[in-house]
């Protein structure tokens, strides 16, 4: 759990469980999950981690402690202006999948659901992400049988990495009620993904590329395509990061931020970070492509029509190509400058060596006389 986080789309994180039973990012042969990699380093050594990532551990009380953190409604976020005015957004289970089969529903009801509906918990929005939305839907059914409604401030989300994993969405849509915010985290994206069949029933889409050692490539046109899909469906879109290996038009793009998560380095055409919340009557409550967000705080509620003013697609493509050309020229200029400096250094060293050798010969000549 963390009061603050570098994750761009939330304020805080909390984990009622640690560890996971695995997914496409964590198998005996694939080790790509960042939470799993952190457990490999700190598990069994650092307090708060599971001994091994594959070994689930329960941490009752963490959610309640997080609920007591200050409400952020109406405040500005210095480094995350797209969150300005919103309540505290808490990412639930960034280091685990609390909906793993070994976690009892009674534990989740007590720790997650009751915390979200507590007096303190109602001040925050809880963003629960899982790769097991079928278990999330089952939990919702269990709660309904007990006449317990899914909390309006408990967002239901699932992770998508490929077109094949979009099969998870049908179970996500079974979760919660009419007021539930349902969202996707398309990260780390590993190929083209078409969300158009489900977007009318979704409230938010996050997109991101893979980062870290051995990261798989992210194609910049995937971001343009997802922006288009969300715009046409009226769904808020949030580009989190491009990842460590970014390609466009067959060329690799390099960024100072090794995750390519600093949007000041991006072309404006993909600089879109929107949040799903109700805005003033008759208007959207989300940011425009330049990143502006509604100034007034508002409670999370049903999705409102999204109005996004963007240049036509052909202009977007042209602007993106122009940005890529400028970036390549800047990189070529830097390489040329580095090569020139290296050449000058070698030249100066050669001159010094020549003068030194000449001085030695002269001294030997004088000595011989």
Domain that holds residue 325: 312-369
DSSP alpha helix (H) spans, the chain = 34-42, 62-67, 105-108, 114-117, 133-145, 169-172, 220-233, 313-368
pLDDT at position 369, please?
66
Residue 161 and residue 266 in one domain = yes
With b for 16 or more beta-carbon neighbours within 10 A and e for fewer, the 263-287 pattern comes to beebbebbebbbbbbbbeeeebbbb
Position with higher pLDDT, 319 vs 273? 273
What is the pTM assigned to this prediction? 0.75
Query: In the structure, what pLDDT confidence band is assigned to residue 301 with cuts at 50, 70 and 90?
Result: very low
Domain presence at residue 4? no
Residue 278's pLDDT band (boundaries 50, 70, 90)? very low
Q: Which of 287, 311, 335 is the last residue of a domain?
A: 311
Residue 264, C-beta contacts closer than 8 angstroms, at least 6 positions apart: none
pLDDT of 231: 96
Same domain as 125, residue 17: yes
**Do 202 and 58 share a structural domain?**
yes
Q: What is the pLDDT of residue 26?
A: 55
Residue 297 reports pLDDT greater than 60 = no
Q: Which residues does 235 contact at the CB level (< 8 Å), separation at least 6?
A: 199, 202, 203, 204, 205, 303, 306
Asked if the model's pLDDT at residue 273 lies above 80, the reply is yes
The answer, yes or no, to whether residue 141 has pLDDT greater than 80, is yes
Per residue, the 3-state secondary structure of 217-230, as one string, reads: CEEHHHHHHHHHHH
Q: How many angstroms separate the CA atoms of 141 and 175, rounded?
A: 8
Report the alpha-carbon distance of residue 110 to residue 237 in Å, rounded. Answer: 32
Residue 6 lies in a domain: no
Are residues 250 and 323 part of one domain? no
pLDDT, mean of residues 360-364: 81
Residues 293 and 341 grouped into a single domain: no
Residues 6 or more apart whose CB falls under 8 angstroms from that of 323 comprise 267, 269
| pLDDT at residue 312 tops 60 | no
Asked, for residue 113, whether it belongs to a domain, the answer is yes
335 and 276, same structural domain? no
pLDDT at 152: 96
239 and 319 inside one domain: no
- H helices of 162-290, where? 169-172, 220-233
Distances (CA, A) of 118 to 60, 63, 115: 15, 11, 5
Burial group, residue 246, by CB count within 10 angstroms (0-12, 13-18, 19+): buried
Domains: count for the chain:
2
Residue 153 phi/psi, 5-degree rounding, is -95, 15
Same domain for 227 and 343, yes or no, is: no
Is residue 80 scored above 80 in pLDDT? yes
Answer with the one of 311, 326, 344 that is the final residue of a domain: 311
Q: For residue 287, how many C-alpha atoms fall within 13 Å in the half-sphere facing its CB? A: 23
Q: Are residues 265 and 317 in the same domain?
A: no
| Residue 5 belongs to some domain of the structure | no
- Whether 83 maps to a domain, the answer reads yes
**Is there a single domain that holds both residue 92 and residue 177?**
yes
What's the rounded mean pLDDT across residues 237-250?
A: 94
What's the pLDDT score for residue 322? 74
Residue 299 and residue 334 in one domain: no
Flag whether 2 is in a domain.
Answer: no
**Which pLDDT belongs to residue 117?**
97
362, part of any domain: yes
Q: Is residue 172 part of a domain?
A: yes
pLDDT at 368 over 80: no
Query: What's 306's DSSP letter?
Result: -
- Out of 311, 345, 360, a domain closes at 311
- Which whole number is the average pLDDT over 327-353? 83
pLDDT of residue 213: 83
The pLDDT of residue 280 is above 50:
no
Which range (193-202, 210-219, 309-318) has the least confidence?
309-318
- Asked if residue 142 and residue 251 are part of one domain, the reply reads yes
The rounded distance, in Å, linking the Cα atoms of 260 and 215 is: 12
């Amino acid at each position: 759990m963390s009061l603050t986080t570098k994750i761009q789309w939330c304020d805080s994180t909390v984990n009622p469980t640690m560890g996971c039973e695995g997914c496409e990012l964590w198998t005996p042969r694939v080790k790509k999950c960042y939470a799993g990699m952190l457990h490999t380093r700190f598990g069994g050594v650092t307090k708060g981690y599971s001994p091994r990532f594959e070994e689930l551990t329960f941490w009752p009380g963490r959610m309640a402690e997080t609920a007591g953190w200050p409400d952020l409604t109406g405040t500005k976020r210095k480094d995350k202006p797209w969150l300005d005015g919103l309540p505290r957004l808490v990412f639930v289970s960034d280091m685990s999948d609390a909906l793993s089969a070994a976690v009892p529903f009674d534990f989740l009801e007590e720790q997650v659901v009751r915390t979200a509906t507590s007096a303190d918990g109602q001040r925050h929005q809880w963003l629960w992400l899982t790769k097991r939305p079928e278990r999330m839907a089952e939990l919702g059914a269990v709660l309904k049988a007990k006449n317990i409604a899914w909390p309006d401030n408990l967002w239901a989300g699932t992770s998508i990495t490929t077109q094949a994993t979009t099969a998870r969405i049908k179970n996500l849509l079974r979760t919660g009620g009419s007021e539930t915010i349902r969202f996707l985290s398309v990260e780390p994206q590993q190929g083209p993904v078409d969300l158009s069949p489900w977007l009318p029933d979704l409230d938010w889409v996050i997109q991101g590329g893979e980062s870290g050692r051995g990261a798989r490539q992210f194609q910049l046109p995937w971001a343009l395509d997802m922006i288009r899909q969300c715009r046409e469906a009226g769904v808020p879109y949030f580009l989190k990061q491009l990842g460590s290996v970014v390609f466009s038009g067959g060329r690799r793009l390099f960024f100072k931020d090794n995750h390519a998560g600093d949007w000041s380095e991006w072309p404006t055409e993909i600089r879109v970070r929107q949040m799903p919340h109700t805005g003033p009557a008759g208007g959207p409550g989300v940011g425009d492509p330049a990143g502006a967000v509604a100034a007034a705080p508002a409670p999370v509620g049903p999705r409102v029509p999204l109005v996004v003013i963007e240049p036509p697609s052909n202009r977007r493509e042209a602007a993106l190509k122009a940005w890529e050309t400028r970036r390549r020229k800047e990189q070529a200029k830097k390489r040329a400058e580095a090569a020139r400096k290296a050449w000058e250094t070698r030249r100066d060293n050669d001159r010094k060596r020549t003068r030194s050798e000449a001085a030695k010969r002269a001294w030997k000549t004088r000595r011989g006389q």
